[in-house]
Amino acid sequence: MNQIEVQIVQLPHAAGLPLPEYQSALAAGLDLLAAVPADAPVTIAAGARAMVPTGLSIALPPEAEAQVRPRSGLAAKHGVTVLNTPGTIDADYRGEIQIILANLGSEPFVIERGMRIAQLVIAPVLRALLRPVEILDTTQRGAGGFGSTGTNSVQTPKV
C-alpha cells in the first residue's frame, strides 16, 4: 500500500485528543475528531449547520490534496453529514481544518469533544492542461446529462 508523508500540527484546543487514525487495516479515510470544549458541546438543530473545529493543521506535499468526507454512521443514524462534500484541502492551505456539518435529521444533534465527525482522505492531484479545440470527439453517451446513462437514446452535442 502506498504511503505519503503529511505533516500535522495539533493546535492548543485539541490538546489531549488523539491524532486522526485509520479504523481498519484497509480504511481509506482517517477519522477526524471534534475539538470543541468539553464543557461546551455544539448542538446542531434539525435543518441547521455548524462549523466544527478539529484543532488540526496539515502540510500536504504538492502532489496531494485532502478530501473531507462524511462518516456513514452519522449520516445513516442521525442524518448528519458534511455539507460541502467532499471538502477539498489544497496542498498550500495551512489553516485549521474545520468541518461544516449539516443536520438533515429531525432532532437536534450534539457534537461532543472527541466525537468522530468526518473522514480525511489523502488523494493524488493531477493538474489539467486545458487545450482549446473547435469540437470534441464523439462518444456513445454524447451530451446526455443527468439520468441519461443506461437508456437507449444517444444524444449528440449541438455544434
Partners of 49 in the beta sheet?
Answer: 102
Rounded distance between C-alpha atoms, residue 68 and residue 51, angstroms:
13
Cα–Cα distances in angstroms (integers) from residue 30 to residues 61, 67, 136, in the given order: 17, 10, 39
SS3 158: coil
Specify the pTM.
0.86
Q: What is the pLDDT of residue 144?
A: 81
* pLDDT surpasses 60 at 155: no
pLDDT band at 69 (very low <50, low <70, confident <90, very high): very high
Q: Could you report the per-residue pLDDT of 22-62, keeping only the tens digit for each? A: 999 999 999 999 999 999 999 999 999 999 999 999 999 99
Rounded distance between C-alpha atoms, residue 89 and residue 64, angstroms:
9
Query: Looking at the domain that runs over 7-124, which CATH code has it been given?
Result: 2.70.40.10
Rounded distance between C-alpha atoms, residue 145 and residue 43, angstroms:
39
* 66 neighbors 122 (Cβ within 8 angstroms): yes
Residue with cell 484497509: 26
The letter for the amino acid at 84 is: N
| Span between the terminal Cα atoms of the chain, in Å | 46
- Which cell goes with 62? 504538492
